[in-house]
Amino acid sequence: MVTRVTPESPAAKSGISEGDLILGVGDKPVSGLVEFYSALWASGTAGSVHKLNVLPKDAPDFQVRERAVKSIDRNEWMKTGRSF
Protein backbone atom coordinates (compact mmCIF):
# COMPACT_ATOMS: atom_id res chain seq x y z
CA MET A 1 0.00 0.00 0.00
CA VAL A 2 1.24 3.46 -0.86
CA THR A 3 1.60 5.37 2.39
CA ARG A 4 2.94 8.67 1.06
CA VAL A 5 3.35 10.41 -2.28
CA THR A 6 5.71 13.36 -2.51
CA PRO A 7 4.41 16.26 -4.62
CA GLU A 8 6.08 16.46 -8.05
CA SER A 9 7.55 12.96 -7.63
CA PRO A 10 7.33 10.36 -10.40
CA ALA A 11 4.50 8.62 -8.51
CA ALA A 12 2.52 11.85 -8.16
CA LYS A 13 3.02 12.70 -11.83
CA SER A 14 1.70 9.27 -12.85
CA GLY A 15 -1.48 9.57 -10.78
CA ILE A 16 -0.56 7.29 -7.89
CA SER A 17 -2.11 8.34 -4.57
CA GLU A 18 -1.82 7.48 -0.92
CA GLY A 19 -3.89 4.38 -0.18
CA ASP A 20 -3.45 2.85 -3.65
CA LEU A 21 -2.23 -0.75 -3.80
CA ILE A 22 0.68 -1.57 -6.08
CA LEU A 23 0.16 -5.15 -7.21
CA GLY A 24 2.90 -5.53 -9.77
CA VAL A 25 5.78 -4.08 -11.74
CA GLY A 26 5.35 -4.96 -15.40
CA ASP A 27 4.36 -8.62 -15.48
CA LYS A 28 5.89 -9.40 -12.07
CA PRO A 29 3.44 -9.50 -9.15
CA VAL A 30 4.64 -7.98 -5.89
CA SER A 31 3.28 -8.45 -2.39
CA GLY A 32 5.54 -6.25 -0.30
CA LEU A 33 8.03 -3.42 -0.26
CA VAL A 34 11.12 -5.59 -0.79
CA GLU A 35 9.55 -7.35 -3.79
CA PHE A 36 8.38 -4.02 -5.19
CA TYR A 37 11.81 -2.38 -5.09
CA SER A 38 13.57 -5.53 -6.33
CA ALA A 39 11.22 -5.70 -9.33
CA LEU A 40 11.45 -1.95 -9.95
CA TRP A 41 15.25 -1.85 -9.86
CA ALA A 42 15.47 -4.95 -12.07
CA SER A 43 13.18 -3.42 -14.69
CA GLY A 44 15.50 -0.61 -15.80
CA THR A 45 17.79 2.23 -14.87
CA ALA A 46 16.87 5.73 -13.73
CA GLY A 47 14.97 7.47 -16.50
CA SER A 48 13.21 4.27 -17.60
CA VAL A 49 9.45 4.11 -17.82
CA HIS A 50 8.05 1.39 -15.56
CA LYS A 51 4.55 0.01 -15.83
CA LEU A 52 2.95 -0.48 -12.43
CA ASN A 53 -0.26 -2.40 -11.83
CA VAL A 54 -2.21 -0.33 -9.33
CA LEU A 55 -5.53 -0.81 -7.58
CA PRO A 56 -6.59 2.77 -6.82
CA LYS A 57 -8.04 3.28 -3.36
CA ASP A 58 -11.12 4.95 -4.83
CA ALA A 59 -11.70 2.67 -7.84
CA PRO A 60 -15.47 2.14 -7.83
CA ASP A 61 -15.16 -0.90 -10.09
CA PHE A 62 -12.20 -2.52 -8.26
CA GLN A 63 -10.29 -2.65 -11.54
CA VAL A 64 -6.51 -2.71 -11.59
CA ARG A 65 -5.08 0.18 -13.59
CA GLU A 66 -1.73 0.40 -15.32
CA ARG A 67 0.31 3.48 -14.47
CA ALA A 68 3.45 4.41 -16.41
CA VAL A 69 6.03 5.88 -14.06
CA LYS A 70 9.25 7.44 -15.32
CA SER A 71 11.89 6.78 -12.69
CA ILE A 72 14.49 9.30 -11.60
CA ASP A 73 17.90 9.16 -10.01
CA ARG A 74 17.40 9.52 -6.25
CA ASN A 75 20.73 11.30 -5.77
CA GLU A 76 19.88 13.87 -8.45
CA TRP A 77 16.47 14.44 -6.83
CA MET A 78 18.11 15.07 -3.45
CA LYS A 79 20.55 17.58 -4.98
CA THR A 80 17.61 19.79 -5.89
CA GLY A 81 16.82 20.19 -2.18
CA ARG A 82 13.68 18.07 -2.40
CA SER A 83 12.97 15.23 -0.04
CA PHE A 84 10.90 12.09 -0.29
In CATH, which superfamily holds the domain spanning 10-73?
PDZ domain (2.30.42.10)
Q: Annotate 14-59 with DSSP letters as a single string.
A: TT--TT-EEEEETTEE--SHHHHHHHHHHT--TT-EEEEEEE-TT-
- 16-55 confidence digits (pLDDT tens): 999 999 999 999 999 999 999 999 989 888 899 999 999 9
Model pTM score: 0.82
- 54-74 confidence digits (pLDDT tens): 999 998 898 999 999 998 887
